[in-house]
Amino acid sequence: MEFGKIDHFAKVDFSFPKEPESNLKNWGAGDFKVYIGAPVFSHQALLRKILPIGSVADNLNVYSKFFSCIELNSSFYSIPSSEQVTKWSLKVGEDFKFIPKFIKTVSQHGTGFSTLNSIISEFLSSIVHFKKKLGLSFIQFPETFTPDYLHELESFLSRMPKGLKLATELRAKEFIGTPFSFPKVILDVAGRRDLFDLELARNWTMIRFVGNSLHDSDYRRLDDWCELLLKWKSRGMKEVYFILHQPDESHCYDLALYLKEKLGEIVVGCSELKKDQLDFGIK
């Protein structure tokens, strides 16, 4: 993920922003679950890291034993058929969740995106076949999508099916610090600290964490996240979908293991993610 990539860390302030007052309530959801995922399940370096040499296995099935969700980027480029969605669903366990990214024909359209009824309907008709394995979906807008289009965005969101969890990734800094009634993707990106906002609008959220090749700052940031997630647990939050990005996606396993070890039983699945599986070399 090139968005927000940096090469020099000394001047970066990795501290967390203050939570808004609206976060500090009891959400009353009961059991708290954290799903850990990556943006790809067929990365060859990633597979070589966990599979015995010479072995042959289904990529998604193997991935699902180490992670409990997947950020499905392929749906950003083309809408999967209902048959493909069903096949994917059958390859994973009952607790695994898919997070399909909304088709770019809609999110990158600019003005008038909310009127693309046929493509919106086609996308929604596809992802419904994930059934109980659909965690949430998210729609990612470019930086040119500013608060000037807020009315259109709200109109679009109001037309989404009841029960669909849809998070909105907003990359225009003008959105930050302004309360909204709809869920936003939380972006923790080294090179874009101006987009780091902890606002919660529901008892669930999605975090996209962009790391830096297992730099020490990656682990320090995860320490801060673990502390905050446990606070959210105490307030009755329901679900967090924590998506890890790295320049080399095989490093997502190292950070996933670190999160699992720190958070313990609130992490869903990841049954094969064990200390003896990976040498993640924390200093």
**In the predicted structure, residue 276 carries a pLDDT above the cut 90:** no
Average pLDDT value for residue range 94-116: 94
Nearest to 131 by CA among 93, 166, 159, 98: 98
Nearest to 35 by CA among 63, 67, 72, 73: 67
Give the pLDDT of residue 41. Answer: 84
Give the pLDDT of residue 4. Answer: 60
Give the pair of three-digit tokens for residue 247: 């320049």
pTM: 0.93
Helices (H), the chain: 44-50, 59-66, 74-77, 82-90, 104-107, 117-127, 150-158, 216-234, 252-263
- Contact by Cβ (8 Å): 255, 211: yes
Q: What is the SS3 assignment for 112?
A: coil
Give the pair of three-digit tokens for residue 74: 């392929």
- Which value, to the nearest 10 degrees, does the dihedral of the CA atoms of residues 27, 30, 36, 42 take? -110
Give the pLDDT of residue 46. Answer: 67
Give the pLDDT of residue 58. Answer: 77
Going by pLDDT thresholds of 50, 70 and 90, the confidence category of residue 280 is very low
CATH architecture for the domain at 31-266: Alpha-Beta Barrel (3.20)
Give the pLDDT of residue 226. Answer: 98
C-alpha to C-alpha distances, 40 to 59, 70, 110, 245, nearest whole angstrom: 10, 7, 27, 9
Q: What is the SS3 assignment for 9?
A: coil
